[in-house]
Amino acid sequence: MSVKKKAFNPYLPSWEYTPDGEPYVFEDRVYVYGSHDRFRGHVFCLNDYVCWSAPVDDLGNWRYEGVIYEKTQDPLNSNGRMCLYAPDVTIGPDGRYYLYYVLDKVSVVSVAVCDTPAGKYSFYGYVMYSDGTRLGEKEGDEPQFDPAVLTENGKTYLYTGFSWRTDASRHGAMVTVLDADMLTILEGPRFVVPSGSYSKGTGFEGHEFFEAASIRKIGRTYYFVYSSVVMHELCYAVSDSPTGGFTYGGVVVSNCDMHVDSYKPSAMPGYYGGNNHGGLVNILGQWYVFYHRHTNGTSFSRQGCAEKITVKSDGSILQAEMTSCGLHEGPLPGKGEYPAYIACNLLCGTESVYSGLGGWMDNRFPLITQDGRDGDEEPGYIGNMMDGAVAGFKYFDCINVQKVTITVRGYCRGVFHVKTSLNGPVHGSINVDYTNVWTDYSAEIPLPDGVQTVYFEYSGEGNASLASFALC
């Protein structure tokens, strides 16, 4: 009998940067489709589409399926000057898998197709009106962006859109109905969720549509998930029809944990966030939200995360809290070594909802990063932990923990205080000193039994990096 691998956040290897994740269960595996950032990239989505999958009963065991679509396969991008933005996938009436996407410098929706979920996709065509005019190029069309697709009863519902808060030229998220050929428009675009300029009196005020459309059906209800105008939160709206009548539901997840007050004030960020994109999936009866976090002190090296969510009997969804365990069946075992890159909370004396305010290695904030170049399978770690910086990890099932070990490097001299709540007592401290190589430091530190968060707060001079910690 094989032993299941531990599931963490991010759910993919620490050197993989696949944001905008749309998860689907096909047969007995979960497949995630997203865009593909570059480590230390200078813009979003510089790499080709890749796919990862995992058995539905072993969500820590992700398999790299390889590159499924290259940016130069689109006839509009044979020179590779444009990037592949966030895609979505649906099964067509013919049983094939259709991948919808928008390139970053055009306003049309492209489609690729494959016979299998994660094989090599081939360019198929552009979404178009019956006269051959491409969607997004007809007079009166608004620009297409971030497609989401749902297919049922021989029709495909295509959701798109992008709207800055104050841009009155953009009305919000729109839906377009496609024929069984997956390209031809049966019903032209109609708006389903308002932008900031058109939300008065709609119930969406303060959470208007920005981007990142995603669509799912739960029972008889359609759930439209999207990134609101504040960017860091994924919200949802519900309707009994795929083409209209959506009402605001609430926030599903925030990638800086805004609105969560279980361990901090609700208006205080628990991480350095930014734009957000993801979708919902039911795996063996448990619902999850997939989303992404920001790393490396920029907005251009994002990583996929996931959290359990509760869909209540009335159809409402409770906002998920960011955790380190994510897809794990429960709290992580309170014994053993864990990589520091699974931190779900990063804090310091300077609060900020958004990452990347000062560019790469902004010296005001701790950040998750790695050594090497993009594609190098180098483990991630937390860098730039200066005086007052806190890294938080949740949750662990602690039983008789007596000793804590940390692996640290950097020009630093001080202590790491170990706590189980942000404003709670220090259970013990670990002294660290200047070192150019990863060095283990330990101390006898009893932790309370039970399900706990573990916080490491650095106090001292210089700049520390944290690679891992162990509970014994």
- Tell me the per-residue pLDDT of 443-465, one tens digit each, with 9 for 90 and over: 999 999 999 999 999 999 999 99
Q: Where are the beta strands (DSSP E) in 153-276?
A: 155-160, 172-178, 185-194, 209-218, 221-228, 233-239, 247-254
Which residues, at least 6 apart from 95, have a Cβ–Cβ distance to it below 8 Å? Answer: none
Question: Chain centroid to CA 262: how far?
Answer: 21
Active site residue 139: no
SS3 at position 467: strand
| Amino acid, single-letter form, for residue 21 | G
> Which whole number is the average pLDDT over 105-120?
98
Question: What pLDDT, in 10s, does the model give residues 312-349?
Answer: 999 999 999 999 999 999 999 999 999 999 999 999 98
Question: In Å, how far are 194, 220, 224, 391 from 249, measured between CA atoms?
Answer: 14, 16, 10, 32
| Dist CA 115 CA 100 (whole Å) | 15
Judge whether residue 413 has pLDDT over 80. Answer: yes
Q: Say if CB 14 and CB 270 are below 8 A apart.
A: no
Give CA angle at 147 (45, 162), nearest 5°: 80
DSSP state, residue 50 = E
Give Rg (Cα) of the chain: 22
The strand pair at 122-126 and 110-114 is best described as antiparallel
Of 416, 294, 281, the C-alpha closest to 354 is 294
Judge whether residue 59 has pLDDT over 90. Answer: yes
Question: In Å, how far are 133, 143, 144 from 139, measured between CA atoms?
Answer: 10, 11, 13
pLDDT mean across residues, the chain: 96
CA contacts within 13 A on the Cβ side of 337 = 9
Judge whether residue 362 has pLDDT over 90. Answer: no
Q: Say if CB 208 and CB 172 are below 8 A apart.
A: yes
| Dist CA 227 CA 104 (whole Å) | 18
343 phi, psi to nearest 5 deg: -55, 135
Question: What pLDDT, in 10s, does the model give residues 165-180?
Answer: 899 999 999 999 999 9
In the prediction, which pLDDT does 300 show? 94
Burial class for 125, CB neighbours closer than 10 Å (0-12, 13-18, 19+): middle
In the prediction, which pLDDT does 349 show? 86
Give CA angle at 389 (18, 342), nearest 5°: 30
pLDDT band at 3 (very low <50, low <70, confident <90, very high): low
| Dist CA 122 CA 98 (whole Å) | 10
Q: Say if CB 127 and CB 158 are below 8 A apart.
A: yes
End-to-end Cα separation, the chain, in angstroms: 27
In the prediction, which pLDDT does 357 show? 57
Q: Token pair of 281, please? A: 């999936």
The structural domains of the chain, ordered by start, are 22-309 (2.115.10.20), 332-471 (2.60.120.260)
| CA dihedral for 126, 130, 132, 135, sign (positive or negative) | negative
Which residues, at least 6 apart from 58, have a Cβ–Cβ distance to it below 8 Å? Answer: 2, 4, 5
| Amino acid, single-letter form, for residue 441 | Y
b (16+ CB within 10 A) / e for 389-410: bbbbbbbbebeebeebbbbbbb
> Which whole number is the average pLDDT over 187-206?
97
The catalytic position among 22, 146, 211, 233 is 211
The catalytic position among 20, 88, 208, 457 is 20
Q: What is the DSSP string of 115-181?
A: SSTTS--EEEEE-B-TTSPBTTSSTTPPPP-S-EEEEETTEEEEEE----TT-TT--EEEEEEE-TT
| Dist CA 419 CA 391 (whole Å) | 10
| Dist CA 32 CA 48 (whole Å) | 14
Active site residue 20: yes
Question: What pLDDT, in 10s, does the model give residues 134-147?
Answer: 999 999 999 999 99
Judge whether residue 203 has pLDDT over 70. Answer: yes
Judge whether residue 1 has pLDDT over 50. Answer: no
| Dist CA 299 CA 115 (whole Å) | 34
In the prediction, which pLDDT does 360 show? 47
| Amino acid, single-letter form, for residue 402 | Q
| Dist CA 365 CA 385 (whole Å) | 7
Q: Say if CB 300 and CB 306 are below 8 A apart.
A: no
In the prediction, which pLDDT does 302 show? 97
> Which whole number is the average pLDDT over 147-162?
98
